[in-house]
Structure 1
């Protein structure tokens, strides 16, 4: 697995129905702004057509203009948002000068200025006459670091790029700076509201009749609010005329009234379908069939699109719809009011069909399905760690209730795994001890054995040799699966490297590689690799390091750049040991590139420099 799959629908520009009425003045202003301003800001309450206006205008940009679209949601913190942005930029083939994984690691470490500079360098070097980055629904994001990062991004944004933000509220950015420089174009609810002529055109388009009086009354009630206009046109003329005037002054009441009118007029089958499918972030035939239990999902989705029931159509081979936030919120509220007992089970169904592990785990959490959420996170953690996403795992753990975090062996085990690559051995030791005891208590023998083996390894690196030996013997006295046996052999490698016999390390490392080749995943290979080269002089160890390097490269394939970098570093040690001085220069160049690509992580940099010191000593290079 090269990376944890991200929700592709978040980075697709929504596609709306053809045949919408022309809004020439708004479209002219928005089109000019997209090609002439550093920043374009659309701020208005839900339902004012921000997404529709942007989507339509992006299709009219000059040929060759690049577009990266990202729809934010409440699950996005800065790292997750930027992960999606990297994916959105990928079709442009950006010439990254720093590995995306290293870029995200800078964010995790709080090095936002460096991360912003890396992204700006990439945008500057991207081969495009002009580019637009769209952040839609940015109001959903609560992480303050997102806005700190965007301020820094705006400060250095190349002249041929524009940042577009659509939000229900004004984002907490240094807008005064860009307003003073006249580098921001702003569109608020006044600019986005339908004019009298546009309402007349909309009425004519929807009803086939030219009735300025009815159109004027509709404008007076909705104040040009796009969602209200669309809902009103779906409601019957009689019920719309009978609505009390006071209702229209409160947009929330307006929504409640019109949504209820539209919803109650729908066929009962479509009502039930919409209520249950409102829990899905994107609507596809397969997922809607699963959560609604209705085999006519394909026909019903087509009906939703035909009725223009507040959906946007996402590009793809299969029909995929996304409910507008306003309508989805209404539907979910009604579902919880009418069928509260169904919601947990429906959220479980939604989670079971979700491919993104972050969304899936969070759906289980919303359902109160703690066991499923823990198991799902436990299953996803190794792949996420292999992709350098340990910080994301920790953030997901912190979404669980505090009392569950304190007692869960699954979450303790995941915490320990995240601490291992950072050499936080005390944290690994305590977390794995907690996990082992918890797994023992619920009869999970294999999981308890793995946790205890990791506890023993961490205890060794904490310098507690007697306790480490005792734990290792306890693990070996019970049945072991492949992972536990691999970790036990690794422990014996380390113990006998310090305490003998002299040929012990080579024998145990051979068993480690044999076991890894039987089916070790990428994360387990990575767990076993660091620092074993320190005992390369022991009998047989160099041969096994060669097998370890070759096996790791064969297992990893493309991607997993941190693991590849460690394999290259171990290769350098082998060449030093074997006297392959002539080959080292080229390899050192690759290692330097690895380090720069990954953002110069401290652990890799230290081992890289120590290897080069030995190289210069061997070459008697006194000037180095």
Structure 2
């Protein structure tokens, strides 16, 4: 944990306090969530430090960075941020994170404990600032954490988000629809003509004429980073006509010109330092020393910060470049330095971060160095763990960055890419990757690898309840294995048993289970055993078995929650159906809702769709027929979007059945659903 990310950044001395921003940000206490949204360089962080932190007594701060695309790391930082308000906040959440396996299934209970602590212990009002949140908004797991936090935000806690883009989160959209979201945008942050004049005179010591103020305002549109660079240019004796003549456009073109003016005037030692450290997300003295072969990087960093050279102190001796200035430096360094030297610098940084266990930064630097074999090596080393723990987007993003010429050599990566898409309910895409992986394994003569691919293909059809197609691929897997590889054969036989269960061939299913048990006796029970009991009407035994499996998953580190989504086999979905058949409507509804949350947490739309089917059954049993209809229609729509025709059957059947029941109720009858929809389709 980098503690300096949990304190507001230091504001430069030349910072103008603006009354209208004071008046805007004091309104934070009147809204549950405030969004400060603008592009880079508009002074979002500065505005929050200057105009928010000075007006509230209880502020928790977390500066988010691009490298923190792991939901567990994000949650750790979030907990430690609010602990600065009260040390007991989040203690239970941290214990749970330390004791439980790091899988996405644990995020929801951790966040629940944290929200309860905040409601009990945080003073009213408390402000929680998540700055630069745009850096991780595209990570689904983190978006889910934010959605739940915002949805259940305690009344005395006010969330303030700094971001470059809008938040595509349902909870935020609901707040906006009910006018409970305070938005402070680019228009609010930009400097007016009057503010530009005061800024230059009071803070920069430069008196501008009215014409000069109007010209600067027109060219920069009040963009603070451009105003700061104009100040630097004027300090060096440049005139405004000279600036506009050379770079007539505001924004990035002006930035590039002034950055070059600043860079070219630095002594060679400083230039070399900038060129050879600009690829770092955070500049730490020991990392800089390694890259430059020197011992005094700490002093150099302090010097750069004091000179106002677009370097910001992040605390604890760490620094960072202003992002736009860093982009300029990277572009400049890639042109000036020899390609081999630039690659060596990136590789040195990658090796250092790999040694520290920072997988994300190591991958990024190896990739920037063009060392794709090193990227492949890390993915092969950590890929199984990434998949098992459900870190699907991280795996997907890095496999997608590899060129096809590299991927062709590693069918395991192609297979894993298919597994990611299957877990995310992208079934057609998964089949494409499996086909590519099969070709690679055939070329290598790898029979076991081919069985993995055929098993993956079969699981696409098992997930979507297409028994004939699933049987084709499972038989291919059995044939390719021959009598070898008993562990893989065991898995295939279990899947064949599941497929027979889907087809209603229960004797054949039990025979396959016996064959599997002969290969590997003593294996624990799983969802297949539950479904066999359900299919044969042994409902109470099926329920007891399901509860035992859930309890086991909670207790054992290698239990069923350390995985990706299990389609319609999720335990809560099965329990919801079992309870529906037993007539236990409340329990059925609760487990259906848990199944929906599981689908959302594990990024599986199909699991979520089945959850809505089961929720429809529960609502209908309770006599809430309109809500049941809504659930069924939502489930059918989601299945249509996923192109899973068999996934629609249970929802369509339920909608038709309960529509008839609703018409009966309209005629005066006291209607209650006596059965769920065609639950046996996915039992």
Q: Normalised by the shorter chain, which TM-score bucket?
A: 0.5 to 0.7
Decide which moves more: 262-271 or 454-463: 454-463
Distance 1:546 1:279, change over 3 A: same
Q: Are 2:45 and 1:51 aligned?
A: yes
Give the Cα separation in 2 of the matches to 1:264 and 1:529: 67
Give SS of 1:493's match. helix
The answer as to whether partners of 1:134 and 1:163 remain within 8 angstroms in 2 is no
Secondary structure of 2:255 counterpart:
helix
State how far apart, in whole Å, the 1-side matches of 2:146 and 2:55 are: 23
Name the counterpart of 2:162: 135
Match of 1:15 in 2: 9
**Residue 498 of structure 1 aligns with which residue?**
509
2-side partners of 1:195 and 1:242: how far apart?
15
Q: CA 1:417–1:337 in structure 2 vs 1: closer, same or farther (change >3 Å)?
A: same
Deviation at 1:569, TM superposition (A): 5.1
Give the whole-Å Cα distance in 2 for the aligned partners of 1:612 and 1:510.
Answer: 42
Cα deviation, 1:182-221, whole Å, max 9, x if unaligned, reads xxx723243695324x3233346xxxxxxx6699999799
SS in 2 for 1:304: helix
Q: Pick closer, same or farther for the CA change 1:150–1:332 going to 2, 3 Å.
A: farther
Change in 2 beyond 3 A, CA 1:277/1:450: farther
| Residues 387, 560 of structure 1: 8 Å contact kept | yes
In structure 2, the partner of 1:63 is: 57
Flag the 1:607–1:413 CA change in 2: closer, same or farther, 3 A: farther
Is contact 1:33-1:40 (8 Å) kept? no
Distance 1:502 1:117 in 2: 38
Q: CA deviation at 1:492?
A: 2.9
The answer on whether the counterparts of 2:414 and 2:433 sit within 8 Å (CA) in structure 1 is yes
- Within the alignment, does 1:28 sit opposite 2:28 as a pair? no
Give the secondary structure class of the aligned counterpart of 2:156: coil
SS at match of 1:489: helix
- Corresponding residue of 1:110: none
Kept in 2: contact 1:69–1:133 (CA 8 A): no
For residue 306 of structure 1, what is the aligned residue in structure 2?
A: 306
For residues 396-475 of structure 1, the aligned pairs below 5 Å read 397-400=399-402, 409-421=411-423, 431-439=433-441, 441=443, 450-451=452-453, 454=456, 463=469, 468-469=474-475, 471-475=477-481
* Aligned residue in 2 for 1:554: 556
Q: Which position in structure 1 is the counterpart of 2:242?
A: 244
Secondary structure of the structure 2 residue equivalent to 1:555:
coil
1:219-251 Cα deviation digits (max 9, x unpaired): 799668654565577679665479935347544
Mapped to 1, the partners of 2:554 and 2:156 lie a distance apart of 42
In 2: Cα distance, 1:216 partner to 1:389 partner: 56
1:574-585 paired onto structure 2 within 5 Å: none
Note the alpha carbon deviations across 1:424-472, whole angstroms, 9 max, x for none: 8786666445324314646888766754665677799655657644533
- 1:195 is paired with a residue of what secondary structure? helix
1:534 to 525, 531, 534: 531
Partner of 2:177: 155
1:264 alignment partner in structure 2: 264
2:320 counterpart SS class? strand
1:23-422 mapped onto 2 (5 Å cutoff): 23-25=17-19, 27-32=21-26, 34=28, 47-64=41-58, 122-123=149-150, 125-129=152-156, 131-138=158-165, 146=168, 153-156=175-178, 158=180, 162-165=182-185, 186-190=188-192, 194-196=196-198, 198-203=199-204, 226-227=224-225, 230-231=228-229, 240=238, 244=242, 246-247=245-246, 250-251=249-250, 254-314=254-314, 318-339=316-337, 341=339, 342-352=341-351, 353=353, 361=363, 364-377=366-379, 381-390=383-392, 393-394=395-396, 397-400=399-402, 409-421=411-423
Give 1:601's aligned residue: 608
Partner of residue 102, structure 2: none
| Counterpart residue number, 1:111 | none
How many angstroms apart in 2 are the aligned matches of 1:40 and 1:464? 48
- What is the CA distance between 1:8 and its match in structure 2? 8.2
What is the TM-score of this pair, normalised by structure 1? 0.63
State the distance in 2 between where 1:378 and 1:129 align: 47
Alpha-carbon distance between aligned partners in 2 of 1:374 and 1:147, rounded to the nearest angstrom: 33
Matched-pair contact (CA < 8 Å) for 1:311–1:321: yes
Deviation at 1:307, TM superposition (A): 2.7
CA contact (8 A) 2:414 2:436 kept: yes
Q: CA deviation at 1:274?
A: 1.9
Higher relative contact order (CA 8 A, sep 6+): 1
CA contact (8 A) 2:454 2:473 kept: no
- Shift in CA distance, 357/339, structure 1 to aligned 2, threshold 3 Å: same
Relative to 1, partners in 2 of residues 1:191 and 1:548: Cα closer, same or farther, differing over 3 Å? Answer: same
Q: Is the 8 A contact 1:42 1:186 kept in 2?
A: no
Verify the 8 A CA contact 1:390 1:418 in the aligned structure 2: yes
Q: Is the 8 A contact 1:67 1:132 kept in 2?
A: no
The 3 A distance-change label for structure 1 pair 33 and 82 is farther
What's the secondary structure of 1:263's corresponding residue?
helix
> Who is 1:180 aligned against?
none
Give the Cα separation in 1 of the matches to 2:21 and 2:249: 28
* CA distances 1:310-344 after superposition (whole Å, capped 9, x unpaired): 233336xx433232122112211210220151444
SS of equivalent residue, structure 1 residue 16? coil
How far residue 555 of structure 1 moved from its aligned partner, in angstroms, is: 1.6
Q: How far 1:15 sits from its partner (Å)?
A: 0.2
Q: CA RMSD in A?
A: 5.9
Q: Partner of 2:129 in structure 1?
A: none
Unaligned runs of 5+ in 2: 83-88, 94-104, 110-141, 498-507, 537-541, 601-606, 621-671, 676-683
Are the equivalent residues in 2 in contact too, given 1:48–1:227 (CA < 8 A)?
Answer: yes
- Inter-partner Cα distance in structure 1 for 2:157 and 2:52: 12
Q: Which runs of no fewer than 5 residues in structure 1 stay unpaired? A: 1-6, 103-114, 167-184, 205-211, 514-527, 614-620
- Number of residue pairs matched by the alignment: 531
